[in-house]
Structures are given as structure tokens and as C-alpha cells.
Amino acid sequence: MAADIIDGKAFAATMREKVADHVSRLKADHGITPGLAVVLVGEDPASQVYVRNKRKQTVECGMQSFEHRLSPETPEADLLALVKRLNADPAVHGILVQLPLPPHMNADAVINAIDPAKDVDGFHISNVGLLGTGQKSMVPCTPLGCLMMLRDRLGSLSGLDAVVIGRSNIVGKPMAQLLLGESCTVTIAHSRTRDLAEVVRRADIVVAAVGRPRMVPGSWIKPGATVIDVGINRIAVPETGKTRLVGDVDFDSCAQVAGAITPVPGGVGPMTIACLLANTVTACCRANGLPEPDGLIV
């Protein structure tokens, strides 16, 4: 194997220590405890796991966790009323509504009902606009985690060719904005892209956020490129009768060619939650007119 493995799990653990440190200082110096409210509607099994992990890590960092579980039949008006209450609650500094929402709900309307200052997912239209125009915003957690790993690995990203595969609002588009902000030459590839292999072969940085198991083979990767695998796909393992998680990248073949690569699990996933915690501390500091935490997001 040629590539270095980018250890997102270790990176995220270090970040959580810094978050915990900031939280204890906020408590000791200002009597403030950052609070994160997570709203889960329905019983999607993957969402339940994510919400459980978020709660656990929020509490471990010394923050307050407010969890709201609503039945899948909850009327949208009830969810909007809950969001309004959380917006007004001074103990809540961050609000996260776990996606996907049930089909009868308008996710855009719900996300845009969140106070942008508490929108720690960075999905509110105001934060999207601020990010797109290079202004201070709440940055979506998954792309932020990817960017931190890229900076850590590569230092300056200026002038590098970056290809983001996937154009979703929560990963692909904000990832492309962040890379543009770092002065990369950015290509966004998607399901209608012609000759994806050729597009990816030009890239110094590849970020795969598609949701298709192992769709990027090593033969697409430019030698020495840095590969960030956002995909989380559960596949069956016939030999054991069990399942396992794989990314959007074929790890074994890509690791032969890439300079560095994130594993799945243990790459982007842990960084996403660590960035959520960091965003909550940032939101708390901004809400209280305190300086933003130094050295948390690097």
C-alpha cells in the first residue's frame, strides 16, 4: 500500500479534547454551559445511531444535550413550533434537525425556521449565502471536517485541482465552496458528468460524496492524490452473513495509488461530529459576545 492513512478518528479525538477544554473554561470563567438540541423525527435506524453518538459526545465534552424525539407522523407545524421554542431558549446554542425528515415535511422550510445563529449544521439559507460569499458563517460539519484533514495533510491548498463528486446541499456544494475559498481549482462532478474517470484523474484532491459503495476505483486516481471518502454505505458480507460499512471509494485499489486516503469507518465520520461540537461552542461564544474559540477549527 502506497498511501498514508488519514486517521480521522485520532484527529477527531484531539479536537474533542480541545472542545472539552473550551467548555470547561466557559463554565469556570463565565458560568456558561454550551447546549446542543438535537431533533429526531421518525425511526430511521441510521439517524438513530447518529443521534445517539452526537448525544454521547456532547455530554462527554461537558456540554448540555437536549434531545427531542418525535413520532414519524408528527405534523410539520408541531416541528416548526418546537424549533421556535428552541430558537427562544437561551440554554440552547445549537439546533440540529436530523435529516432526512419524513416525506410529508418540507425540509427546507424546517431548516430555514432555525435561528441562523443556532444553525450548527450550517444548512440555513443565510449561512449558505454567507459561505458562498466568503463571509463568516456556520460551516456545514462534514465538509468542514474534510477541509481540516486536507489542510492538516497538505498545508496550503492554493492552486491544487480538486474534484468533488456529488452536488448535495449538505456535502458536495459546501465542500466545493470551501475548496474554492482555499484557492483550489474546483470541479463538481455529479450523476450527469460525462467521463467521470477522466475528470477524477486530473485531481490532486478527490472528495467522494455519492452514496455508492466503492464506485471510485484506483485506476481513476492520479498518483499521489489525496482522497477523502465521505460515503457511508452498508453492504452485505455473504461469507459471514453480516454487514459492514464501506465508502464511495474502493479503498484497497485507491490506496495503491493515492498519496493519502481516509478510511471508512474512521475517516470523515468522526470528524463530522467533532465539527458539530466545535460549531456549538462557536455559536455559544458568539451568542454571549465572547471571543471565538481559538485553535479549535484549524
Contact residues for ligand NAD, defined by CB under 6 A: 142, 165-168, 170-172, 189-191, 193, 196, 209-212, 230-233, 268-269, 272
Secondary-structure breakdown of the chain: helix, strand, coil percentages, each rounded to the nearest 5: 45, 15, 40
Catalytic-residue membership of 98: yes
Task: Tell me which of 18, 57, 118, 121 is the catalytic residue.
Answer: 121
Is there a binding annotation on residue 85? no
Residue 27 or residue 202: which is nearer to ligand NAD going by CB? 202
**Active-site residue among 18, 98, 173, 250?**
98
Phi, psi (rounded to 5 degrees) for 243: -125, 165
121 belongs to the catalytic site = yes
Minimum distance from residue 256 beta carbon to ligand NAD (Å): 22
CA distance 267 to 256: 18
d(CA 225, CA 202): 9
- In the bound state with ligand NAD, the residue whose beta carbon lies nearer, of 138 and 165, is 165
Residue 166 marked ligand-binding: yes
Distance, in Å, from the CA atom of 283 to the CA atom of 298, rounded to the nearest integer, reads 17
Determine how β-strand 161-165 pairs with β-strand 205-208.
parallel
CB closer to ligand NAD, 200 vs 257:
200
Q: CB neighbours (10 Å) of residue 136? A: 11
**26 versus 246: smaller Cβ distance to ligand NAD:** 246
Q: Which of 18, 54, 118, 173 is catalytic?
A: 54
* Closest approach of ligand NAD to the CB of residue 99, in Å: 8
Q: State yes or no: is 18 an active-site residue.
A: no
Write the CB contacts of 247 (distance below 8 Å, at least 6 apart in sequence).
208, 213, 214, 229, 230, 231, 232, 233, 262, 263, 264, 267
Binding-site residues for NADP(+), please? 166-168, 232
Which residue numbers are catalytic? 54, 98, 121
